[in-house]
Structure 1
Amino acid sequence: MAQDPLCLLCVEPSFPGRLGAVTDWLVRTRGYRCWFASNRISPREFWPESVGRGLELLQYEVGGVAWEPSVPWTRSLERWFCHAHGVWELLEAQRPRPVDVVPARSSGLGSTLFVPGFDTRVPLVNLFDGYLHPRRNDLAEEVADGVASEPNMLREFDRDVSISNMIMRMKNDVICVVAGGGQVRRGLDLEHYGIDDAAVLLE
């Protein structure tokens, strides 16, 4: 079935970041048009070849704690709002149109928080990715074999599934996909508790 090429508004704190190669491919091979909103833009030698030929860069500004390379966790929310406000100001000033879909990766900075206010009809597809070392950053201390001593103290994958289910119960226009390896190794894993994460379906 033939379909006209889509117009994308990508949002990611860094360019090209994770979405740069994907948007470059869509522009070059599918004829898509893309605006890429970013705060930190890499030197030109790292840009994909479609920049200026269907892929247009838009740089948003940030202030406050967003200038700092890292902040204590107690100031994370403030930092997220700085990025979200920067994207909002850019969209209000530039008014990129038309936009069919907004692929985004906030990278833990909340940069897409106000994007739905820009155009409530446009779907927002957010990529949340992360990696935690299996024996660090847990909420509970671990015993030598890697099993959490308190099974109720959930690890990152568990939190992603739980939060996704909660969001989908609250909003009927949201779809969440949580992906892991064939079997995500965690405290309540297949080896120790007979639970296969690959078989967990979001409700």
Structure 2
Amino acid sequence: MHVLFVHPNFPAQFGHVADRLSRREGWRCSFVTEKASGRAGEIELVRFTRRGGATEQNHYCSRTFENAVWNAHAVFEALKARPDLRPDLVVGHSGFGSTAFLRELYDAPIINYFEYFYHTKGSDLDFRPDFPPTELDRLRCRARNAMLLLDLHNCDRGYSPTRFQQSRLPAEYRPKVEVIFDGIDADLWHPLPGLPRVVAGREIPEGTKVVTYATRGMESMRGFDLFMKAAKRIAGRRSDVLFLVAGEDRVCYGGDARFTGSKSFKDWVLAQDDYDLSRFVFLGRIPPQELARLFSISDVHLYLTVPFVLSWSLLNAMACGATVVASDTAPVREVVEHGRTGLLVDFFDADGLAEAALGVLEAPDDFRHLGEHAAGLVREHYRLEPCLDRMVALFEEVIASPRGPDR
């Protein structure tokens, strides 16, 4: 069998399953990406080059689709130049448009990975009234689903990583889309008891309590401002707490720059109040091994998100046995059960977030079972191997299924 994976980045969501198929199942795996060419182990990398994209002359609402079409055409051209690649199955991330034209090149089934379908109400867009969308943002939100809808119609099957994310898809397409999580590598993400209290080369003084926060980018979507407010309250009550923050000073999602002007969101947040920055260590982006160490020495880990894609970092922290205090939002409730695998607090309640964290810091033994149950939950339901088993089973089923004349 030959599977062709398509994603602008490598390895992204498909690295683990491609490695599994090539090493254990003996399948041929090719990966079409914008970032690399050559080989990664047994996987052949084929680079595509996008030759255009949206500009300011494009309508604000159509720019996402414009970029997706350029992606789709670039993938098509790169693969047309490789007639030796004749896959039995195409697997691609929807939203980038990467697989949209491949029906014209291959008589092979297509599986799409559906990460997020946008809504104007009851969603990430309107969740924070303190950062309201413009009218044009709401219109763009509807238009940016165009490629997702094409993929939902065009694909043979699909999968989404969580029930919440699958539930955001239009009801008529949900039966085509299974829920299969990406998988947590238990060889990396697991409790590390007895570790020296050193993270990224920094030694944590004896007797110091560690509060952690991890994010891809410091932004309103992931509640960085509310974390800082809660941290200030915690710091005011306890002098023995150090806050370790992993993540980059950038905005990955949303339009925070409209509210912050020229400042980064982090700098804008820090300018809103008087913070004792000697109590904070901003680690930047750290390697996964260091992040696992961070979660393992954490006394309490804070995680916030609006209703959006669930961060891998939350499951990673849980897998490491961290005691989690998180926002009571739909994607989080799917994995954090209040009082069993963590504590849930209203997203906007910085005081409540601080109080919950202070309770854990005051009596850690009373809450240790939360981290233990969280690690057990990840091992049972989100561990990499069982997730890969389900992906491989889906791939095999789709390859073996008869296809209609319009496919």
TM-score calculated relative to the size of structure 2: 0.31
SS in 2 for 1:20: helix
Question: Aligned pair in 2 of structure 1 residues 55, 139: CA closer, same or farther (>3 Å)?
Answer: same
Counterpart of 2:109, as a letter, is: P
Residues 1:185 and 2:330 are matched in the alignment: yes
Letter in 2 for 1:80: A
Cα distance, 1:179 vs structure 2: 6.8
Partners of 1:116 and 1:105 in 2: CA distance: 15
Q: 1:43-73: CA deviations, max 9, x gaps?
A: x9xxxxx72x5310000010222699xx944
CA distance 1:135–1:113, shift in 2 (3 Å): closer
2 CA distance for matches of 1:72 and 1:41? Answer: 30
| Residue in structure 2 matched with residue 136 of structure 1 by the alignment | 124
Give the corresponding residue for 2:102. Answer: 115
Work out which of the residue numbers 99, 103, 107 in structure 1 matches 2:91: 103
- Cα 1:157–1:137 shift into 2, 3 Å: farther
Going from structure 1 to structure 2, the CA distance change for 1:12 and 1:66 (only over 3 Å counts) comes to farther
Secondary structure at 2:177's aligned position in 1?
A: coil
| Higher helix content, 1 or 2 | 2
- Amino acid in structure 2 at the alignment position of 1:125: I
The 8 Å contact of residues 84 and 112 in structure 1, kept in 2 or not, is answered as yes
Check if 1:24 corresponds to 2:25: no
**TM-score of the aligned structures, taking structure 1 as reference length:** 0.59
Aligned residue for 2:170, secondary structure, equals helix
Please give the alpha-carbon distance, in whole angstroms, between the structure 2 residues aligned to 1:23 and 1:11. 11
Structure having the higher strand fraction is: 2
**Conserved 8 A contact 1:66-1:83:** no
Change (3 A) 1:94 1:178: same
Instruction: Judge conservation of contact 1:35–1:57 (CA < 8 Å) in 2.
Output: yes
CA RMSD of aligned residues (A): 3.8
Would the aligned equivalents of 1:32 and 1:54 in 2 still touch at CA under 8 Å?
Answer: no
Relative CO higher for 1 or 2, CA cutoff 8 Å, sep ≥ 6?
1
| Aligned equivalent of 2:171 | 162
In structure 1, the gaps of 5 or more residues are 1-5, 45-49, 142-154, 169-174, 187-203
Deviations 1:106-163 (A, max 9, x none): 3x2111100111113x11000011398x76314997xxxxxxxxxxxxx976540335
Computing the radius of gyration from Cα coordinates, the structure with the larger value is 2
Question: How many residues matched?
Answer: 147
Match of residue 190 from structure 1: none
Amino acid at match of 1:25: R
Q: Does the 8 Å contact 2:54/2:63 carry over to 1?
A: no
Whichever residue aligns with residue 78 of structure 1, its letter is E
| C-alpha distance in structure 2 between counterparts of 1:81 and 1:135, whole Å | 26
Q: Distance in 2 between matches of 1:16 and 1:66?
A: 25
User: Which secondary structure does the structure 2 equivalent of 1:58 belong to?
Assistant: strand
Amino acid across the alignment from 1:109: F
Structure 2 unpaired stretches of 5+: 130-163, 182-309, 311-328, 332-407
Q: 1:92 to 1:14 in 2, by over 3 A?
A: same
- Does the 8 A contact of 2:30 with 2:45 survive in 1? yes
Following the alignment from structure 2 to structure 1, what is the Cα–Cα distance between the partners of residues 29 and 180? Answer: 26
Q: 1:129 to 1:26 in 2, by over 3 A?
A: same
Question: How far apart, in 2, do the equivalents of 1:178 and 1:115 lie?
Answer: 24
